[in-house]
Amino acid sequence: MTSTVDPTTDEGVGESELGRARRRKEDEHLITGRTRWTDNIVLPGMLHAAILRSPVAHARITGLDVSEARGKPGVVAVYTGADLAEEQGSLPCAWPITEDMKTPNAPALAVDTVRFAGEAVAVVVARSPYEAHDALDSIDVDYEDLPVVLDLETAARDGDLVHPDLGTNVSATWVFDSAEAGSGGDVEDAIRDAEVIVERTFRQQRLIPAFMEPRSVVVDPTASQITMWSATQVPHVLKLMLAMTLGLPEHKLRVIAPDVGGGFGGKLQVTPEEVLTLLIARRLHKPVKYTETRSESMLAAHHGRDQVQKLTLAARRDGTVTGLKVELLADMGAYLRLVTPGVPILGAFMFNGIYKFGSYRFACTNVFTNKVPTDAYRGAGRPEATFAIERIMDELAVELSMDPLELREKNWIEHEEFPFDTVAGLTYDSGNYEAATAKARELFDYDELRREQAERRERNDPVQLGLGVSTFTEMCGLAPSRVLGSLSYGAGGWEHAAIRMLPTGKVEVVTGSSAHGQGHETAWSQIVADRLGIPFDDIEILHGDTQSSPRGLDTYGSRSLAVGGIAVVKAAEKVVAKARPIAAHLLECSEDDLDFEAGQFRVKGTAKSVGLTDVALAVFAAHDLPDGVEPNLDSEATYDPDNFSFPHGTHLCAIEVDTETGHARIRKYVCVDDVGHVVNPLIVEGQVHGGLAQGIAQALYEEAVHDESGTLLSSSFAEYLLPTAVDLPPFVTDRTDTPAPGNPLGVKGVGEAGTIASTPAVVNAVLDAVRPFGVTDVEMPCTPMRIWHALRDARGGTK
């Protein structure tokens, strides 16, 4: 078995649409090529922009001659940073984590200094993309090299500076201490009193989100409103930030995110390319398109992760953990983008994982280097945190000669203890770690695999078996706005929905949650079909356009269903509430005598009924409405939850490591995720699969590598190893169902689960395979070369 949801049967088919494996509404146009990618958009008179990017990581621009390029065929204009200096402002950072955070000026087009290889230096606008790219070769730039700051630990000690005007490479330091917060004890006491101390330093390599659709932006300034199409996750945030950053009147801007080919946090951004295209189109009064190449995307779209985490875990000999201290260095890159400084903070609340130890201290130092900025990447902070706690729990298990599952059981929060106030200051809503772990253990055949592992060790098999355990929880559903505010994030986290009841009984649902592959159209239709009794196919979901969907905070952090989906529920409840007095009037009864079920208002105890669609038509005609009733069933709702939601799960990985070549091959991967109630199991399973692929890729394949001059060596898919179909195993996925108590659907969020849990499961498995040879750590990605080197070193340098 590799799948628990058989897509050929409708799991959970019943009276309710919820829980049903509906095929996606989105798919028909995507599988037939009738797509609306931004790069497909063609407008009359449209021009094309191409960007000259710095080949060096840190330099002063001492000469920039664009005169020859201006004369090239098809070229309409060429812009330098000096041309746009006054109007371009500074790219926004919406998360000032401390009052004294150092925030450098971040121009969209470099003015006199470049600070990472790939930074935009000049822009050519031409009649065709080919002509625009041709002209880039004619631009002459003189660079005077400046010292390149790359290594995170060296950068943190200052010396050479990325931004000399700031006087330091440290952007900010941020601390959480459980003793100060009142959520636990003093971690230094715990360390002093510990019977066992485990200290480890983990490195989260730099990753590239690598959405399949390169970023693209089209700006049409020719009407009274400027319209921007962008391959973005966040059209609403983008519109607001462009207005605030560029001083553009907000009502004069419309942002559309049409089909968007993946994001993974990589399109949660206000990009230099969006700003530049807008400024240029506005200057030229013509539509302009910019579409990046893949190599440009790798160089200039933000990266993820890139942290060094030093952990000290205090415990007793019986395995009880008593405290955790985390000292973290986080690479910001050369500038602070939209949420760059906040990513490590999101992890700060998750380093305690599913465990209930008594003291915790987290301190992070955000550091500038001459690399492209980091920012959100699938899970944003939480994968990093989960990796660290799950790796060090395994180290403690080794130290105590305990089974890693037994150690987790000894420390985890038990089912009956929820809701649980954690040492990191959160309240976990619900969970059943016992159930998920038991199910995973059984599906995995844990005991049998342990037996096989012992046999292989016994007979010195060159191919050793390793078993990796990872348990996790994460905070989804970002909101609550007041919590985001307390963390100094610049915006709220609520979400908006509207329902428009059309006269024919069809329904338009407007959502502020802007999808890029998650299946909102299907899931939201199921929710509305369930709540209003309207047929699934009679429901249309409108999203990703700030004109049709004026309010929203978009899609990231697994917030869509747990926040946006609940806004849809609330809007549906308002439709029914508005329809009720009208239905009572039509049926000549009291409102109190009405039941609403499956789209019908029925007079209790009788056969008399009227459908919601009939009410909609009656409202439209408005011939016979109760006195004072507005002829309108439309509704809108904004939902801001009281708490995050906390999905969890247990992932188990069996890996075979060839100790002669270092090659690691996943033999079996089992995960049991608990994401609360599920609206569409097909979509949920798909999200888990994709998440696993990205988490496994961090463990085994992917890394953004720079040379000593700061050049990105992994600047194409030839060098940055996205896993192919051959590299990944079949996954065995299953679920338990512990509903979220905080929302009416009981849903929690699933988009990041696979990514968060799988990386430590795989690395723990690799280490479990090679520990008998004395290997204590392998840095990610655990490539054959790294594993082989670790084995060689552990064997004393000889094979």
Partner 1 sequence: MRITVTVDGTQYTDDVEPRLLLVHYLRDRLGKVGTVVGCDTSNCGACTVLLDDRSVKSCSVLAVQADGHSVTTVEGLAENGNLHPVQEAFREKHALQCGFCTPGMIMATIDLLSENSDPSDEDVRHGLEGNLCRCTGYQNIVAAARDAAQRLRENPAATEEAAR
Site residues for partner 1 per CB under 8 A? 2-3, 7-8, 23-24, 26-28, 30-35, 37, 39-40, 42, 128, 130, 210-214, 259-262, 264, 293-295, 516-519, 682-683, 685-687, 689-694, 716-718, 722, 724-726, 728, 730-731, 754
Least distance from partner 1 to the Cβ atom of residue 458, Å: 30
Residue 648 is classified by DSSP as E
Nearer to partner 1, 52 or 682 (CB): 682
- For β-strands 226-230 and 253-256, DSSP reports them as parallel
Q: What amino acid occupies position 470?
A: S
State phi, psi for 160 to the nearest 5 degrees.
Answer: -65, 140
Helix axes 753-770, 784-794, angle to 10 degrees: 30
Least distance to partner 1 from the beta carbon of 164, Å? 35
Which residues pair with residue 140 across a beta bridge? 65
Nearer to partner 1 by C-beta: 127 or 441? 127
Minimum distance from CB of 261 to partner 1 (Å)? 3
Residue 749 Cβ vs partner 1, minimum distance, rounded to whole Å:
16
Token look-up 């700003």 returns 275
DSSP 573: H
Burial class (CB in 10 A: 0-12, 13-18, 19+), 316: middle
Nearer to partner 1, 42 or 223 (CB): 42
Q: Which residues pair with 464 in a beta bridge?
A: 657
How far is the CA of 723 from the CAs of 298, 575, 604, in angstroms?
Answer: 16, 46, 59
Residue nearer to partner 1 on the CB measure, 178 or 526:
526
With respect to partner 1, which residue has the nearer C-beta, 291 or 659? Answer: 291
Residue type, 730: P
Taking a C-beta distance cutoff of 8 angstroms, is the pair 506, 547 a contact?
no
Q: 3-class secondary structure for 26-40?
A: CHHHHHCCCCCEHHH
Q: Are strands 495-501 and 731-735 parallel, antiparallel or unpaired?
A: unpaired
Shortest distance (Å) from residue 38 CB to partner 1? 11
- Residue 759: Cβ within 10 Å count: 33
Tell me how crowded residue 448 is: count the other CB atoms within 10 A of its CB.
9
- The per-residue DSSP string of 397-446 comes to HHHHT--HHHHHHHHBPPGGG-SEE-TTS-EE----HHHHHHHHHHHHTH
d(CA 218, CA 347): 35
User: For residues 36 and 203, which CB has a smaller minimum distance to partner 1 in the complex?
Assistant: 36
Nearest to partner 1 of 535, 690 (CB atom): 690
- Asked if 91 and 109 count as a contact pair (C-beta separation under 8 A), the reply is no
Tokens of 604: 């209790």
Angle subtended by helix axes 404-411 and 433-444, to nearest 10: 170
Q: Tokens 């308002």 appear where?
A: 574
- Of the two residues 80 and 269, which places its CB atom closer to partner 1 in the complex? 269
CB of 754 to partner 1, least distance (A): 8
Specify burial of residue 329 (Cβ count, 10 A radius: 0-12, 13-18, 19+): buried
CA nearest to 469, candidates 531, 408, 560, 536: 408
Q: How many residues does the chain have?
A: 799
Nearer to partner 1, 171 or 470 (CB): 470
Output 289 or 748, the one with its CB closest to partner 1: 289
Q: Which is nearer to partner 1, 79 or 211 (CB)?
A: 211
Q: Which is nearer to partner 1, 21 or 190 (CB)?
A: 21
CB atoms within 10 A of CB 16: 12
Residue 694 CB, shortest distance to partner 1, in Å, is 8
In angstroms, the CA 597 to CA 592 distance is: 14
Q: CB 518 → partner 1: shortest distance, Å?
A: 7
Helix ranges restricted to H, 253-321: 272-284, 294-300
Shortest Å distance, C-beta 27 to partner 1: 4
Closest distance to partner 1 from the beta carbon of 398 (Å): 30
Among residues 386 and 518, whose Cβ is nearest to partner 1?
A: 518
Comparing CB distances to partner 1, the nearer of 154 and 714 is 714
Least separation in angstroms between residue 668's CB and partner 1 is 14
Beta carbon of residue 268, minimum distance to partner 1 (angstroms, whole number)? 15
As measured in angstroms, the least distance from the Cβ of 134 to partner 1 is 10
Interacting residues of 86 by C-beta distance below 8 A, sequence separation 6+: none
From the CB of 237, what's the least distance to partner 1, in Å? 19
Distances (CA, A) of 386 to 309, 346, 391, 469: 12, 11, 8, 12
Minimum CB distance to partner 1 smaller for 30 or for 502? 30
Coil, helix or strand at residue 76:
strand
Cβ atoms within 10 A of the Cβ of 15, count?
A: 8
Shortest reach from residue 562's CB to partner 1, in Å: 19
